Amino acid sequence: MPQTISRKKLKVTGVVQGVGFRPFVYRLAGVHHLAGWVCNTSTCVEIEVEGAAASLEKFVNQLTTQAPSLARVDTVEAMEAEPQGRSGFAILKSQRQMATEALIPADASTCAPCFAEVLDPHNRRYLYPFTNCTDCGPRFTLIQKVPYDRGNTTMSVFPMCEACRAEYENPADRRFHAEPTACPVCGPQIWLEEPGRRHHAQEALEAAASLLKAGKIVAIKGLGGFHLAVDARQDEAVATLRRRKGRVAKPFAVMVRDLAEAEKLCHLGEAERNCLLSLERPIVLAKRRADGEVSSQVAPGNQYLGLMLPYTPLHLLLLAQAPAALVMTSGNLSEEPLVHTNEAARDRLAELADAFLMHDRDIQVPCDDSVVRPLAPDKAIPLRRARGFVPSPIYLPLESPPLLGVGAEQKNTFCLAWSNTAILSQHLGDLDTIETFDYYSQAIAHFKALCSKEPVVVAHDLHPLYWSTRYATGLQGVRLVGVQHHHAHIAACLAENRRRGKCIGLALDGTGYGLDETIWGGEILVASLTGFTRSGHLAPVLLPGGEAAVRDPQRMAVAYLYQVHGENFNHLAQDLGLSYPSLESRILYRQLTTGINSPLTTSAGRLFDAVAAVLDICRRRTYEGQPAIELEMAADPDEDGFYPAPIQMERDTLILDTLTIFRRVVDEYRYGIDPAKIAARFHNSLVRLLTAACELVRNQTGLDLVALSGGVFQNALILRQLYDSLEKRGFQVLTHKLTPPNDGCISLGQVAVAAARLGQENGR
């Protein structure tokens, strides 16, 4: 009986370009004996396919169920077409269309087969640092424009040799239509520059390894920019890097040779191993071993190390000869943009590095390493979302016209959104230098060009002096939507969890411009995407000197002492060792007693600062979040005590009495209680107080959905305890899984709020 022949026109959307999707379609069509073609466009992958109806049905189903590991199929639109009776299947030349919807793939770690080829003496890519295939390698950092073809990447200057071209055109080959493919004959090359000398190819790697063994600093051009590398076991070498980079105490990341080496340095559970070996290969925070051989200078005051495994052949080959654990920190001066060109490296890193390991494959988009903190085998807190994750889409629970969220001032990202798709930029850092702001402006322009989207609405923070706000207000022909900082935090958590209804939002961080023009940061909101009410907050205290108190934990300790003990605060401060030179002490006294240049704040971050300073755990802040991090590290994990604290109601607003908790911290410290126990009791007390506040809000509103956001929820001790405490009391708890809880999520929250408000206006 003759088979029924059918033909379908298919449009496949999602991350389906640059991930081996067309070769996959080609092979799948062959398996099912189907005819037709596949083609990249700037909006999707288009397929026309015909054959036996039953085979065609299996083909369409398997487009989703058997897609390549790097692919993400969102939709498959199918239309019936008239069979043409043709034979054979082809990959057609890419087409550029007026509109652009195609999603750009993220960079991926080198796959196991490619790593094996690099180490195989019989393979023609033996020891070649730029080996990749359709399943791995650079993507986002190379792309200049879409559709994703070699001619639209920085690989366009490397014509393929005959052998590479044969692989590229062979449907049975792993490099079939692998756009960045190359080999030693036709691809990028490496070299090492040191004063008066230049080394090439393998000699460059050997020389770099020798320098690292000798305690020298080598600038290494990687996938998304330069790293500064040094032997992680040499105290003097790491101290020299800190001195040159201007990074006093902030932890450095460490790249280790392999998983066995990681095991020597840290305790690794299933969660840590899963993250280390993932396609993204982020920096993974892992509990360090007491006997782990790594310099104390790598992560002072921290029980964790940020570990990562080699994610390119260059790293693999270098670590085969260099020390087995290398500090790998961003190639820049502290707080400046990541250096990603050879010229900029020679100019800006000349005083930092002793030598430069370079290559001639240009980096189109600089992209720092991502950082995650594992909590469970299938759960991790993203702390920095960049290489490996960007620009993977985040899908919103509502649709919108083209929108831009410009983000916050610190840990900035921006977000471009359209329809129900949001593309979050890589981590850009703090917008407090001209260099960072200039790159921020360029990066937005590049994203808009890649996506062919011109935002009609721009969402921004309410703080009028943020550089991101100034960028937004300087734009012409767009509608501006101001979004309160902590509302954006909660909206981001809702949006990435595909929620849009009301919740109880706990937004705990360091600084956010409040509706009353005070500094918020310890907020209990009843919020949806469209709006919020402030249901409660931590007890307000003065912020003496404004930004000066943010930078100085001791000032916050003194401010809390004044709030709790009034005029007697000076005696207590001296008793605790919180003293200042005479003039500064008089200025501080005047600020506190008169309120001059001392705005009120409810900031949870400043509360952590004050407690860390009182306990003499951290009295000098050298990087953002240091006091809170070191306070968490100091807490005794076996201590379950806490300090009872009430919640008052003032004008329909809950006031969480964190002053009582602070008073008890001071009292116990003065009585000689172990600071590790006090630090744990402080954390436990805050969790109990926040849980009690959520129960009161539930009684008022009937809501049992809680969203947790803000930099405080990078603290695993707080996050785990609060999550468990709320769940035990019948709450459903939302946390961040796709974006950081810190200000790296703000831009996503901004576009979600703007989209919801537009929808409300339009009756959706």
Average pLDDT over every residue of 297-307 = 96
Q: How confident is the model at residue 101 (pLDDT cuts 50, 70, 90)?
A: low
Q: Provide the whole-model pTM.
A: 0.93
Tokens of 229: 């590398």
Q: How does DSSP classify residue 306?
A: E
The string of pLDDT tens digits covering residues 646-699 is: 999 998 999 999 999 999 999 999 999 999 999 999 999 999 999 999 999 999
Beta bridge partners of residue 155, listed in sequence order:
none
Residue 252 has pLDDT above 90, yes or no: yes
The string of pLDDT tens digits covering residues 333-362 is: 877 889 999 999 999 999 999 999 999 999
Q: What is the pLDDT of residue 100?
A: 53
Parallel, antiparallel, or unpaired for β 35-40 and 72-81?
A: unpaired
Count how many residues are written for the chain.
Answer: 764
For residues 111-141, one letter each, b for 16 or more C-beta atoms within 10 angstroms of the residue's C-beta and e for the rest, the string is beebbebbeeeeeebebbbbbbbbbbbbbbb
Share of the chain above pLDDT 90, in %: 80
Q: Which of 587, 689, 684 is nearest to 632 (CA)?
A: 684
Cα 173 to Cα 361: distance, rounded to the nearest angstrom: 24
The secondary structure of 311-367 as a DSSP string is -SHHHHHHHTTS-SEEEEEESSSTTSPPP-SHHHHHHHSTTT-SEEEEESS--SS--
Q: Which of 36, 43, 53 is nearest to 12 (CA)?
A: 43
Say if CB 132 and CB 46 are below 8 A apart. no
Average pLDDT over every residue of 523-545 = 97
Q: Is the peptide bond before 391 cis (omega within 30 degrees of 0)?
A: yes
Say if CB 610 and CB 562 are below 8 A apart. no
Tokens of 392: 């993977």
Q: What is the pLDDT of residue 680?
A: 98
Q: Which of 364, 246, 358, 254 is nearest to 298 (CA)?
A: 254
Residue 97 has pLDDT above 60, yes or no: no
Cα 425 to Cα 423: distance, rounded to the nearest angstrom: 6
What stretches of 104-170 adopt beta strand conformation (E)? none
Q: What is the pLDDT of residue 580?
A: 85
Cα 584 to Cα 589: distance, rounded to the nearest angstrom: 9
Q: What mean pLDDT, rounded, does the chain reach?
A: 94
Cα 744 to Cα 713: distance, rounded to the nearest angstrom: 13
Average pLDDT over every residue of 97-116 = 81
Tokens of 630: 């070191």
Average pLDDT over every residue of 168-188 = 92
The string of pLDDT tens digits covering residues 190-240 is: 999 999 899 999 999 999 999 999 999 999 999 999 999 999 999 999 999
8, containing H or E segment:
strand 5-15
Q: What residues contact residue 149 under an 8 Å CB cut-off, 6+ apart? A: 40, 94, 179
The string of pLDDT tens digits covering residues 150-169 is: 999 999 999 999 999 999 98
Average pLDDT over every residue of 731-739 = 97
The string of pLDDT tens digits covering residues 595-647 is: 999 999 999 999 999 999 999 999 999 999 999 999 999 999 999 999 999 99
Q: Three-state SS across 66-123? A: CCCCCCEEEEEEEEEECCCCCCCEEECCCECCCCCCCCCCCCECCCHHHHHHHCCCCC
- How many C-beta atoms surround the C-beta of residue 433 within 10 A? 15
Cα 616 to Cα 610: distance, rounded to the nearest angstrom: 10
Cα 259 to Cα 170: distance, rounded to the nearest angstrom: 35
Cα 739 to Cα 737: distance, rounded to the nearest angstrom: 6
Q: What is the pLDDT of residue 75?
A: 86
Is the four-CA dihedral 499, 501, 503, 508 of positive or negative sign?
Answer: positive
The string of pLDDT tens digits covering residues 443-457 is: 999 999 888 899 999
Alpha carbon separation from 373 to 285, 637, 714, 737 (Å, rounded): 5, 18, 8, 11
Cα 734 to Cα 713: distance, rounded to the nearest angstrom: 12
Strand order of the β-sheet with 457-461 is 415-424, 394-405, 457-461, 479-483
Structural domains present in the chain: 5-91 (3.30.70.100), 190-372 (3.90.870.40), 520-526+535-734 (3.30.420.40)
Alpha carbon separation from 562 to 56, 393, 666 (Å, rounded): 75, 48, 12
Alpha carbon separation from 164 to 173, 175, 176 (Å, rounded): 11, 8, 10
Cα 565 to Cα 578: distance, rounded to the nearest angstrom: 15
The string of pLDDT tens digits covering residues 452-495 is: 899 999 999 999 999 999 999 999 999 999 999 999 999 999 99
Residue 2 has pLDDT above 80, yes or no: no
The string of pLDDT tens digits covering residues 264-290 is: 999 999 999 999 999 999 999 999 999
Q: What is the separation of C-alpha 321 from the centre of its chain, rounded to a whole number of angstroms?
A: 31
CA dihedral 126, 127, 129, 135 (to 10 degrees): 40
Cα 700 to Cα 674: distance, rounded to the nearest angstrom: 39
Q: Which of 601, 709, 692 is nearest to 609 (CA)?
A: 601
Alpha carbon separation from 167 to 202, 217, 342, 588 (Å, rounded): 25, 39, 31, 71
Q: What is the pLDDT of residue 1?
A: 47
Which 3 state secondary structure label does DSSP give 279? coil
Q: Is the peptide bond before 2 cis (omega within 30 degrees of 0)?
A: no
Q: How confident is the model at residue 733 (pLDDT cuts 50, 70, 90)?
A: very high
Cα 546 to Cα 603: distance, rounded to the nearest angstrom: 12
Which 3 state secondary structure label does DSSP give 743? helix
Q: What is the pLDDT of residue 764?
A: 64
What stretches of 425-467 adopt beta strand conformation (E)? 457-461
Name which residue leads in pLDDT, 685 or 764.
Answer: 685
Beta bridge partners of residue 359, listed in sequence order:
190
The string of pLDDT tens digits covering residues 362-388 is: 999 999 999 999 998 888 999 999 999
CA dihedral 204, 209, 212, 213 (to 10 degrees): -140
Alpha carbon separation from 14 to 107, 146, 365, 392, 764 (Å, rounded): 16, 14, 21, 9, 25
Name which residue leads in pLDDT, 519 or 579.
Answer: 519
